Amino acid sequence: MSNHRTVRASYLVFGQPKIEQAEIEEVLACLRSAWLGTGPKAAEFERRVAAYKGVPYAVGLNSCTAGLHLACVVLGLQPGDEVITTPMTFCATVNAIVHAGAVPVLADVDPRTMNIDPAEVRRRITPRTRALLPVHFAGRPCDMDALMAIAREHGLKVIEDCAHAIETEHRGRKAGTIGDLGVLSFYSTKNIVTGEGGMVLTRDEGLARRVKRAGLHGMSADAWKRFTDDGYKHYDVEEIGFKYNMMDLQAAIGMHQITRVEAYWRRRQEIWQRYLREFADLPLELPAPWSAHERHALHLFTVLVDPARCGASRDDMLMRLHQRNIGTGVHYRSIPNMTVYRQRFGWRPEDFPHSQRIGDQTLSLPISAKLSDDDVSDVIAAVRDAIGR
C-alpha cells in the first residue's frame, strides 16, 4: 500500500486564497494613490458586502475578532453578564466575550451538525445570561429558529459569528442578518479574503453607528472625513474606543473578492461533491447532509477519524497526509482543552462530550476555490493511501 506513489511534487498548503488580477491592480492603484488608510475603497467594499447580504449596514474592520469584541461592547455587556457560545470554535469567539468584560458560558454542540445545540443552550441559561453567540460552524447554519425563540423568551441579544458563513442562509434569511449583529472574517483562509479583515453587519442604524465609533478610538463621526475640500474639522472623542478600522489597502482586495463569492462557492461545491463520492466507501465519518431550507457555505470539509474504525488516529492521518505533501487543518480542538480556559473558568473537556470527541477526531481537508482538479485528485489519492485503501 504505502509506496508513496501518490506524493505530489509540491506541498499543498491548506486554505490558500485565490487572488486574481483585479485585486492585484486595485492594490497597486491604492499604493499609487498614496491613500492607504480608511477611505473610499473601504466604503465601496462595505456597500458591496451590504448589498450581497441584503442588510442596510456593514462596517469594515481589521478583523472578525475585533468585530466580535465591538459587538459585545455595543450591546452594552457588563461585568458578570453571561454570553452563551460553543466549545467548537476558534479561541477568538470566546476571547471577544472576555475582553468585553463578560463571562463566556459554553453549551455543547449537536454531534451531527457540530453547531451549538439549542437544548444545551436552554440548560445553561441563568438570570445573568444576556446574549447568545452562535457560530455557523464550517458554514452550516445554526438552528436559528430555535436560538431566536430562546432569545425572545429570555430577552437575550444574539451575535452571529459568520467567520465561515458569508454564503450561509437559514430559511431564506442570510446568516449575520438574523440576530442583532453578524460578524464576517476576511482572514487569508476564509471564503473571501483581505489578508486580515472583518466586517460587522446589522439592520440597526444605532448599533452600526456605535460599532463605527467604538472601532475608531470613540471619535465623533466627523473624524472619518475630517480632511476634505471644505477644510479641516475638529473631532470630538465621545467614548473610550479601539483602533479596529479597515484600511483601503485591505478593501482593495475585498471589493473584488466579494464579486466572486458565489463563483468560489460553486467551485467548492464541485470539490465537496467529489470528496463525498470518492470517500463514500472509506471508514471516515463525512459531513452530514443538510435540509432544503438551509444553505451551507462549504467553508470546511471535515472528516472524523475514529481510531476504532480507521486503525489510525486523527493525528496519524494528519501526519500521513503531511508526508504525502497534503496540508490539512484541525477545526477545532474543543475549547476546554486549552489551558487558560480550564484555569480561568474551570471548564472540563468531559463536560462537553460531543465537542470533545469531534475535537479529537476531526480533520479538515483542503477545499479552497484555488484548488485545481489535479490538486483535488492528489488529496483524494493521498487520503485513500493514508488509510490503506
Ligand X SMILES: *Cc1c(COP(=O)(O)O)cnc(C)c1O
Quick check: 242 binds ligand X (CB under 6 A)?
A: no
Quick check: 287 binds ligand X (CB under 6 A)?
A: no
Of the listed pieces 22-30, 88-96, 124-132, 351-359, which binds ligand X according to CB under 6 A?
88-96
Nearest approach in angstroms of CB 172 to ligand X is 23
Quick check: 89 binds ligand X (CB under 6 A)?
A: yes
Quick check: 65 binds ligand X (CB under 6 A)?
A: yes
Alpha-carbon Rg for the chain in angstroms:
22
Nearest approach in angstroms of CB 187 to ligand X is 4
- Is the C-alpha dihedral spanning 113, 114, 118, 119 positive or negative? positive
Distance CA 359, CA 341 (A): 16
Task: Using alpha carbons, list the distances in angstroms from residue 190 to 54, 174, 257, 285, 368.
Answer: 20, 17, 11, 23, 9
Q: Output 93 or 368, the one with its CB closest to ligand X.
A: 93
C-alpha grid cell, residue 280: 463514500
Quick check: 70 binds ligand X (CB under 6 A)?
A: no
Quick check: 253 binds ligand X (CB under 6 A)?
A: no
Q: Output 41 or 69, the one with its CB closest to ligand X.
A: 69
State which of positions 174-193 bind ligand X (CB under 6 A).
Answer: 185, 187
Number of residues that bind ligand X (CB under 6 A): 14
Quick check: 362 binds ligand X (CB under 6 A)?
A: no
The Cβ-side half-sphere exposure at 44, using a 13 Å CA radius, reads 16
Contact between residue 318 and residue 328 where contact means Cβ atoms under 8 Å apart: yes
Distance CA 158, CA 67 (A): 14
Residue 329 CB partners (closer than 8 Å, separation 6+): 14, 15, 189, 300, 363, 364
Annotated catalytic sites, by residue?
190
Q: Output 135 or 312, the one with its CB closest to ligand X.
A: 135
List of residues contacting ligand X (CB under 6 A): 63-65, 89-90, 92-93, 135, 161, 163-164, 185, 187, 198
